[in-house]
Amino acid sequence: MAKYNPLSETDEPIIIYKWKGIQYSRLKGNTGRQAPVAKIQAGILGKASAISAKLRGACKPMLPGPADRTLMYRLNNALQQWLRTEPQTSTEAVNEIPFLKGFCFYGNRYGELFHAAMPVSRRAGGDLTLYIPAFDSPNPISPLPFNGQIRLQVIAASININEPAMTNTYETELDISYTGMAIPAQELLLPLPTGPGNLTVVVVAVNETTAGVVGAMYN
C-alpha cells in the first residue's frame, strides 16, 4: 500500500529527491527556514561567540598561551547560559552574574581562593571598586602560599551585548611586597563606568599563575 503524502494534494510545485537511498518530497522553495526556537538559539550562539571574542581579546595579556580552544568553548558556554536568561529584557542593574563570576581562565586552588576574596562593587558614578583583602598569616604552620612580591594584574572590560564592537577596557597593575607582616585591606578604583546594555567584567591575575573573573555585572 502506498503511503499517504500530504504534498500530493497541493497545487504548489513539488521537488522529489533522494537522500541516502530514500525518496523524499518537499515544496519548492521550502528550504532554509528555521523554527523560532532554532532562530533564537542561533542568535544566542552568535552573540555569545562575539562577546567571548571581545572579552578574550581584552584579557589577552593575562591569558595562558598558546591559544586554548577549550577556554574559548568554556567561556562561550558560560555566556550562552547567561544570555538564555534574556538579560536584555530588563533595565535593572545586575551586580552579579553567577555564570561568569568565578570563571577561571587557568589556575589552581590558591587562585580560586584569591578570586573569591576580591569582590567588585559599583560607585555612585558608575565606576568600579575592587576590594583587595588584607594579607596576614600569623599561623606559621599554615602560612599564605607565597611570600615576596605579589603582582595583581587587573583588566576591566565593558561590552555592549548588542554591538560587541563597542567595547571599553581599563587595565592596571598593583605590586604588593609581602614578607609575612600584616598588610591591611585596600580598595582599587577602576575608572570604567558601567552602562545600560553593557556587560562589565573584571578579571584579576595573581603573579601570572592564575587569572579569573572576580566581578561580572550588567546595565
Residue 199 has a pLDDT of: 98
| β-bridge pairing 128-132 and 186-190 | antiparallel
* This prediction's pTM: 0.78
Domain residue extents for the chain: 50-139+146-218
CATH fourth-level superfamily of 50-139+146-218: Interleukin-17 receptor A/B, fibronectin-III-like domain 2 (2.60.40.2150)
Residue 210 has a pLDDT of: 84
Cβ pair 150, 133 in contact under 8 A? no
Which residue type occupies 195? G
Dihedral angle computed from the Cα positions of residues 130, 119, 202 and 109, in that order, rounded to the nearest 10 degrees: 120
CA distance 176 to 204: 14
**H or E stretch at 158:** strand 148-160
Cβ pair 52, 41 in contact under 8 A? no
pLDDT band at 7; cut points 50, 70, 90: very low
Which is more confidently placed, 70 or 142?
Answer: 70
